[in-house]
Amino acid sequence: MSSKKRANNWVDGLRGIAALMVVTYHVCSSFGTWLNSPAMDDKGTASLFQYPFFRLVVGGRSALALFFIITGYVNSFRAIKETREGDMEGVLTNLSRNTFGRMGRLIVPTNAAILLSWLVCQLNGHRIARVVDSAWIQRVSCAPGPSFGASVDKLVRNLTLFWHNGQSPFDGTYWTIPFFLQGSMVVYLTLLATTFARPRYRKGIIVFLYLYSWAGGQCMFLAELNADFGPDATSVMPRAVSALMVVFGLFLSSIPEENADWMPWSRVIVWTASMIVPAGGEINRYVVSVGTTMVMYGVFFSPDARRILAHPVMNFLGRISFPVYLLHNTLIRTVLSWMVYRHDFMMQGLHPVDENGNPRWLARGGFVSFWTSILAFYACLIYSAHLWTIHVDPHCEKVVTWMSNRMLGNHEEHTATKEGVLVGTVLAKWQ
């Protein structure tokens, strides 16, 4: 994609922000689990990053919901645009190719990242992470297999069974990716089922699906609005209204995962949501879904938000967002763990003891050392993700393109055949 076209892609900016939110969520889960609550205790004593908006540093669920909406929007807006233009054959052809390509663009890079994580694990790269004082890092770190054969068997099972249940012993943060794949297939199925529906009725179907299941639909309706308004979407409503949508959406997305009853603002959100969320549903996830949907729609109608998100830095973060997601946990368990705990490790080794000789976990360094390590980790992560886009992504794309051409035929050949058929039809009618 050309740099000019990327420069106007506000969706990339949102994708990059969502990726960084996932990373900060896992970093905070490693070193500041108290941030998952709206206060330090039930008396309501709160730190700055436990208040609304600021607490989005631990908005992992918000980031994932945003990823789902962005993915559905990107997957559907081209098909909806072609449907509006009456190119039904093009719609069906592209749906077939995009469905296959979407699967490959998720499966191939993810399996490559799983292979990398497996290799790091077998080289005992998690040995420090397994003895640190962070319960989250310990939980997501694995030990090498008892033998090479057993390790290879575990890898093969992971590369296949992972796509059934989302469980990976080598990187548990990948559990969301099979759901992204399933969500993409739901979008494609809905597009296929409504290909010949008139726009207003397709919108009604999408709204019904969203209200009925609280899952999906919002991304496709956004694609419908994109087909309706195009570049003029930013002038549909006053800037203040779109800004309020973004602000209120961010407020809802700030709902804490734990102990929401500790603060008045979060109690009000939970009380209100409990009246409309289906019985037995997880209120936090439903509220986050509504909040991120409002943010996405607010950005869609806001020229200011689009301009900020279309900045080249934001576009760069968007281009490396998937590699950031794939690599961040491996780097947390290796690079970050070593930097944060290096001093205690160098003094005590892998079996630290306290002054009484009792076993203990490795302790993190001081304030300056800790925050220097955090900044160095983010720099390392962004650079590694950039290298992934240069050296790994092109090979993954070649694999997907080769498989697509072998199974579905070359796209250029299909286009030439289609044009030949049209010319033949015209000539036959003329004769």
The residue with tokens 């830095």 is 313
Could you tell me the pLDDT band of residue 411, with boundaries at 50, 70 and 90? low
Number of domains into which the chain is organized:
1
Establish if 158 belongs to a structural domain: yes
| pTM for the model | 0.90
Is the pLDDT reported for residue 416 higher than 70? no
309-224-65-162 Cα dihedral, nearest 10 degrees: -110
- pLDDT for residue 251: 97
For the ranges 163-167, 225-229, 260-264, the lowest mean pLDDT is seen at: 163-167
- Other beta carbons within 10 angstroms of residue 290's beta carbon come to 20
The better pLDDT of the pair 55, 417 is held by 55
- pLDDT for residue 413: 53
Task: For the chain, give the longest Cα–Cα distance.
Answer: 100
Establish if 429 belongs to a structural domain: no
- pLDDT for residue 381: 98
The better pLDDT of the pair 206, 328 is held by 328
- pLDDT for residue 164: 85
Cβ contact 282:347 at 8 Å: no
Region label for 142, one of left (φ > 0), alpha (ψ between -120 and 50) or beta (otherwise)? beta
Establish if 247 belongs to a structural domain: no
pLDDT in tens, 348-398: 999 999 888 899 999 999 999 999 999 999 999 999 999 999 999 999 999
Among 408, 350, 359, 400, which residue's Cα sits nearest to residue 143?
350
Establish if 348 belongs to a structural domain: yes
The residue with tokens 């689990």 is 33
Establish if 382 belongs to a structural domain: yes
pLDDT in tens, 302-359: 999 999 999 999 999 999 999 999 999 999 999 999 999 999 999 999 999 988 889 9
Cβ contact 243:302 at 8 Å: yes
Establish if 2 belongs to a structural domain: no
Establish if 322 belongs to a structural domain: yes
Mean pLDDT of the chain: 89
- Other beta carbons within 10 angstroms of residue 350's beta carbon come to 10
Q: Which domain holds residue 117?
A: 14-228+313-391
